[in-house]
Amino acid sequence: MLKSKDKAFSAYKEFEVWCKTQLGKKIKILHSDHGGEYLSNIFQSYLKSKGTAQKLTIHDTPQYNGIAKQCNRTILEHVHMLLHASSLLKILWGEAARHIVWLMNRTSTKSIEGMTPFEAAFRKKPGLSEVREWGEKLWVGTKKNKIGKIGRGHVEQGHWLGIDKRGKGVCVYWPEQQTITTERNVYYDKTC
């Protein structure tokens, strides 16, 4: 998630490098609105230097943004549902959106017959065995109050926010500290 629009150019460059490195693909066209973050001289010059065409929508013509607008609306509706169902704070909307996009890329869609977007990009089936209910309560084993190697362990309660994309852990929200960390030693209440 970008904190401000002035970060759009650097985020675009990072995404472009990721596409080239991970997918072996070059961005051919950037379709955007007339937002100033896309029209700066430095952004325009960069796109030209890379041979990337830029297509801009005309104001007051949402019909030209059909797929993108519908996708954004779907994500936003799901964000509202996740936040409501979990009773978690609205400040977690970005984490909810990240999880929804993660799921959308790993579930079937009409536009790609017979596979998910993840499969189309990486040529392998996505693993969904670790997926839990977003916002679900969990307990994390910590090293607090541990005496020696076999001392009593300690657990703290948090909420499941998704799978960490960089590691082999899960993203945990800590309501008391209002922070998010990546954890490995998590336990779920199997009686629920």
* pLDDT band for position 165 (cuts 50, 70, 90): confident
Note down the domain range covering 118: 65-127
**Structural domain contains residue 143:** yes
Q: Write the CB contacts of 47 (distance below 8 Å, at least 6 apart in sequence).
A: 30, 53, 54
Same domain, 122 and 143: no
**Structural domain contains residue 120:** yes
Same domain, 123 and 87: yes
**Structural domain contains residue 18:** no
Q: Which residue has the higher pLDDT, 150 or 71?
A: 71
Strands 170-174 and 179-183: antiparallel
CA atoms within 13 A on the CB side of 126: 19
Same domain, 5 and 51: yes
**Structural domain contains residue 192:** no
CA angle 92, 13, 21 (to 5 degrees): 100
Compute φ and ψ for 182, nearest 5 degrees.
-100, 130
Residue 147 pLDDT: 54
Q: Mean pLDDT over residues 134-146, rounded?
A: 81
Tell me which of 95, 127, 159 is where a domain ends: 127
**Structural domain contains residue 19:** no
**Structural domain contains residue 147:** yes
Same domain, 69 and 123: yes
Same domain, 123 and 70: yes
Among 4-8, 13-17, 170-174, 188-192, which stretch is predicted with the lowest mean pLDDT?
188-192
Token pair recorded at residue 139: 């307990």
Q: Residue 138 belongs to what H/E stretch? A: strand 137-142
Q: Which residue has the higher pLDDT, 75 or 154?
A: 75
Residue 155 pLDDT: 85
Give dist(CA 40, CA 47) in Å, integer.
11
The per-residue pLDDT for range 29-76, each reduced to its tens digit, is 998 888 889 999 999 999 999 999 998 887 777 666 667 777 888 999
Residue 58 pLDDT: 78
**Structural domain contains residue 100:** yes
Q: Find out whether 1 and 94 touch, Cβ atoms under 8 Å.
A: yes
Same domain, 49 and 71: no
For the chain, the domain total comes to 3
Same domain, 69 and 120: yes
Residue 47 pLDDT: 96
Same domain, 44 and 77: no
Residue 70 pLDDT: 79
